Amino acid sequence: MNKLWKFLQYGYLIIAVICLVEGTVRWNENREKAYLFLGASIFITLVFFFKRHFRKKVEKRNNQNK
């Protein structure tokens, strides 16, 4: 299950890149939506780093218990 989470966490980065591209495309058309997409991109990137840190912490704890 742990290997599955390693791959799924990179889905957050893919979604963040899509939001970043969408935000830059909409920059000249509609700034409000552009800010929304850029903000979502930043938030999703932070979620990625938080989940990665937490997963590594759990893996380290599990390896110490063995």
The 10s digit of each residue's pLDDT in 8-57 is 889 999 999 999 999 999 999 999 999 999 999 999 999 999 999 998 89
The span from the CA of 54 to the CA of 4, in Å, is 15
The answer to whether 51 and 9 have CB atoms below 8 angstroms apart is: yes
Compute φ and ψ for 29, nearest 5 degrees.
-85, -55
Give the pLDDT confidence score for residue 7 in this predicted structure: 83
Query: Is pLDDT of 5 > 70?
Result: yes
Give the pLDDT confidence score for residue 8 in this predicted structure: 85
Give the pLDDT confidence score for residue 1 in this predicted structure: 62
Query: Is pLDDT of 58 > 90?
Result: no
Q: What SS3 class is residue 30?
A: coil
pTM: 0.83
Q: Hunting for tokens 């218990």 — which residue is that?
A: 65
The span from the CA of 29 to the CA of 58, in Å, is 44
